[in-house]
Amino acid sequence: MAGKCKESLTNGDLCSETDADSTSRRLSFLKMVGKGKMKRESMQDHSSQGPEEEPVEEVPEVKPREPLSVLEILQLVTKRDLFLADTHILELEQECREAESPTAGGTEDFSSPSNKDSSRRKAKDVELLYEALQKELWDVVKESLRSPTAGPNLGLVVQVLQQEEQADRDWAQSEGSAPGGPRPRELKKRWREAVVELADANLPQHAEAQAGELAAYLDKLRVRMVEDLGAARRNVVSLYPAEYDSFQVYTQSYHQAITRRLQAITDGDLQITDIYSLLDWLYNIYNRDVLGTVTITTPINLSQLGPLLPAETVEKLELDCLNSVRGKVTNELSQVLEEEEKRWLDTLNVEEYQMPLARTVIQRLQEDLERSAAVNRDLGSRVAQCSLNGLADFLYRWESDT
């Protein structure tokens, strides 16, 4: 019994010790598990929250821009805010086209008279706005020629021209580009016409040419054309895109304006002195002192200008010149001879009278020979031959009379 009690006590102690250790280990394990669980839950909570969200700025609501009224667009035109005005006119024009075209999704019910009238009014408004816009555009073109400070306004004109050209191209490519519509506007072509009108208004009118004083009038044309094209080169040419070839357009416009004046002058009868002046201007002065001056720094394509007068008109001028010379020789010298004969008969000492007929003949012929030779050698030769023929006629008539 003592042995069993001892064994029992010994086992009991061991059991007690083992249970205590086991209990301690279980508590430590539970603590570790608890810490791990808490850590995992903490991580899961953090991951579930995701990245920290940044504060979002509230974007203000953008309201669609209200289209301008016709009156407001017209005010832009009169204030010469030309590019913006053209932009709004294009929008109004597009609105009219979309309303009228079924292929563009138009929803207008044209069976209603009121809708038809409204559409017509809008289309009429567009046309009136374009008329007002073009008036301001071409006024700027005319004013800018001699104004070194016209750059901003003329720059807006160029922007409008380019925008309208693009609108014409878009219209031509669209499905609704039916013939007879408001497009193309062709404002670039109308710009060229405006430059032609500018040149015609600036040059002296042909009515200012007085008989016998054509040389003075032609010199006014020369001075004005040289001055205006010089101003164009300084003030406006650089503002146009290169493809506009603006200096060529300005030069050609002045050339055409001068052509119209010379044609009007040659429609009437000209004195021989005016014929010489005009021929000299055609053959020499215009090419040398006008075109030669304006193209020194800015070359142009002279072949595009064309002649100032048709060849048949120039030939007629030369023929009139020859006929005048021949008539002068035969008629005026005969008149001089008659006057000398009267003075000879009235002279007391008939034997001492000296008739200056030879000197008079030379003087009359010399003027025509010099002026015709100054025009060109060919005309000088023809006038010389015509003078000899006229002199022969005069001598024949004189011999016949005596």
Q: Is 19 among the domain residues?
A: no
CB 212 within 8 A of CB 271: yes
* Residues 198-245 pLDDT 10s: 999 999 999 899 998 999 999 999 999 999 999 999 999 999 999 999
What is the rounded average pLDDT of the residues 41-62? 53
Max mean pLDDT range (75-84, 205-214, 347-356, 388-397): 75-84
Q: Is 14 among the domain residues?
A: no
- Considering only 110-114, 136-140, 354-358, which range has the smallest mean pLDDT? 110-114
Q: Is 43 among the domain residues?
A: no
Residue 267 dihedral angles phi and psi, to the nearest 5°? -70, -25
Q: Which range of residues forms the domain containing residue 345?
A: 319-401
Looking at the fold, whether 247 and 203 belong to one and the same domain comes out as yes
CB 124 within 8 A of CB 112: no
**Domain final residue pick, 285, 309, 333:** 309
Handedness of CA 69, 75, 76, 77 (dihedral sign): positive
Handedness of CA 166, 172, 175, 176 (dihedral sign): positive
Residue 63 dihedral angles phi and psi, to the nearest 5°? -85, 140
Specify the pLDDT at position 100: 66
Q: Is 200 among the domain residues?
A: yes
The model's pTM is: 0.75
113: cis peptide before it, omega within 30°? no
Gyration radius (Cα) of the chain, Å: 50
Looking at the fold, whether 162 and 230 belong to one and the same domain comes out as no
Q: Is 299 among the domain residues?
A: yes
Q: Which of 339, 331, 324, 337 is nearest to 371 (CA)?
A: 324
* Residues 360-386 pLDDT 10s: 777 778 888 889 999 989 998 998 888
Looking at the fold, whether 208 and 301 belong to one and the same domain comes out as yes
Higher pLDDT, 192 or 359: 192
Straight-line distance from the first to the last Cα atom of the chain, in angstroms, rounded to the nearest whole number: 206
Looking at the fold, whether 155 and 207 belong to one and the same domain comes out as no
Opening angle at CA 73, ends 68 and 78, nearest 5: 155
pLDDT beyond 60 at 149: yes
Q: Which of 100, 90, 70 is nearest to 168 (CA)?
A: 90
Q: Is 5 among the domain residues?
A: no
Q: Which long-range contacts (CB under 8 A, 24 or more apart) does 262-266 make?
A: 262/206, 262/308, 262/309, 263/309, 263/313, 264/206, 265/206, 265/209, 265/214, 266/309, 266/313, 266/316, 266/317
Q: Show the tokens assigned to 315.
A: 């030939």
**Domain final residue pick, 289, 309, 329:** 309
Looking at the fold, whether 301 and 325 belong to one and the same domain comes out as no
CB 95 within 8 A of CB 122: yes
Q: Show the tokens assigned to 236.
A: 């406006």
Q: Is 123 among the domain residues?
A: yes
Domain count, the chain: 3
Q: Which residues contact 145 (CB under 8 A, 6 or more apart)?
A: 198, 202, 228, 231, 232, 235, 236
**Domain final residue pick, 114, 139, 174:** 174
Looking at the fold, whether 278 and 326 belong to one and the same domain comes out as no
Cβ burial, residue 289 (10 Å; 0-12/13-18/19+): middle
- Indicate the pLDDT class of residue 113, thresholds 50, 70 and 90: low
Q: Is 16 among the domain residues?
A: no
Matching residue, tokens 């021929």: 279
